[in-house]
Amino acid sequence: MPMEKDSSTSILEEIEKRSARPIPRWHFLLKRLGFWLLAAFSVITGSIAMATAIYVFFDQDFIVDHDYISVFFIQEPLIANIVLSIPYLWLAALVLFTLVAIFGFRHTKKGYRSPTIRVIAGSLLASALLVAAFNTVDIGGYIHRYLIENLHGYNKLVYANENRWTQSEKGRLGCKVIRVDREKQILVVRDFANRIWQVDISKSEIYFGTPIAPGRTLKITGVKTARRSFQAFSIQGWEKKYHRHAAPKKNSANGDLLKEK
């Protein structure tokens, strides 16, 4: 008994010496909530990264555009096309946020009890379900297009379809229309490297239903004629939903299409 009293007394003296105070319950609750929010935020962000990665890879023309697939494969073999088109940046972001989600979940009240494999599988499953939802509203496409147009250097980190169409020396010019000169049959456009071009469309073939107006994004094939001049041979909208016009090669047809916009 004396020993127990001495032990209790020494503990109390040590507590007083260190000025220790009991930690409020709300502190633990707030900490747990923080880890849950970290895990949830990481799963959502990882899902956005996965959705963007899927968009970047499957938006490539060598996958969906049969008119140009043979040209792409002549310039770069299939394996090279695939390796180039893998969105390594977004896959790395997915891995990072998955690890952060696992870390957050592990520090929740009972998270440490779950096997690591189950935690990883649960995180990826939650991400996959969110990706399916995000793809219905094209979240990945919106994010990718915003970064291409507004973040300098992004197009150097991801080899996207915009890179494939920023190759004027190979006859491909992807761009956004700035101004349309209907009389001279000239487009003033900005490519994805933020360079301004004058495009002569007087001899071009325009895909049926292609909107040519300021703010529209186009794919133009042709030949570079000067430092920032381009002679167009064909023009199509950036989206894949189009049908080719039977005979749009006449200048008057181009003029009519321009006047309609």
Q: Do both 44 and 145 map to the same domain?
A: yes
Q: Which residues face 199 on adjacent strands?
A: 187, 230
Q: Do both 118 and 225 map to the same domain?
A: no
Q: Do both 214 and 125 map to the same domain?
A: no
One pLDDT digit (tens) per residue for the chain, 261 residues: 444 445 556 655 555 556 556 666 666 677 767 777 888 888 899 999 999 999 888 877 755 455 555 555 555 666 776 787 788 999 999 889 888 888 887 777 666 677 778 877 888 888 889 999 998 888 998 999 899 888 888 888 888 888 888 889 888 899 999 999 988 999 999 998 889 999 999 988 988 888 899 999 999 999 999 999 999 999 988 875 433 333 344 343 454 445 444
Residue 7 lies in a domain: no
The tally of domains found in the chain comes to 2
Residue 188 lies in a domain: yes
Cβ neighbors of 120 (< 8 A, separation 6 or more) are 98, 102
Residue 131 lies in a domain: yes
Domain that holds residue 189: 165-260
Q: Do both 134 and 174 map to the same domain?
A: no
Last residue of one domain, picked from the residues 125, 155, 185: 155
SS3 letters for the chain? CHHHHHHHHHHHHHHHHHCCCCCCHHHHHHHHHHHHHHHHHHHHHHHHHHHHHHHHHHCCHHHHCCCCHHHHHHHCCHHHHHHHHCCHHHHHHHHHHHHHHHHHHHCCCCHHHCCHHHHHHHHHHHHHHHHHHHHHCCHHHHHHHHHHHHCCCHHHHCCCHHHHCEEHHHCEEEEEEEEEECCCCEEEEEECCCCEEEEECCCCEECECCCCCCCCEEEEEEEEEECCEEEEEEEEECCCCCECCCCCCCHHHHHHHHHHC
Cβ neighbors of 202 (< 8 A, separation 6 or more) are 185, 251, 254
Q: Do both 213 and 254 map to the same domain?
A: yes
Distance CA 97, CA 85 (A): 22
Residue 1 lies in a domain: no
Distance CA 245, CA 233 (A): 14
Distance CA 34, CA 38 (A): 6
Q: What is the CATH number of the domain that holds 218?
A: 2.40.50.140
Residue 226 lies in a domain: yes
Q: Do both 44 and 134 map to the same domain?
A: yes
Residue 229 lies in a domain: yes
Cβ neighbors of 233 (< 8 A, separation 6 or more) are 171, 203, 204, 205, 221, 222, 223
Last residue of one domain, picked from the residues 101, 136, 155: 155
Q: Do both 141 and 226 map to the same domain?
A: no
Last residue of one domain, picked from the residues 107, 123, 155: 155
**Residue 139 near residue 47 (C-beta atoms within 8 A):** no
Q: Do both 147 and 76 map to the same domain?
A: yes
Q: Do both 133 and 173 map to the same domain?
A: no
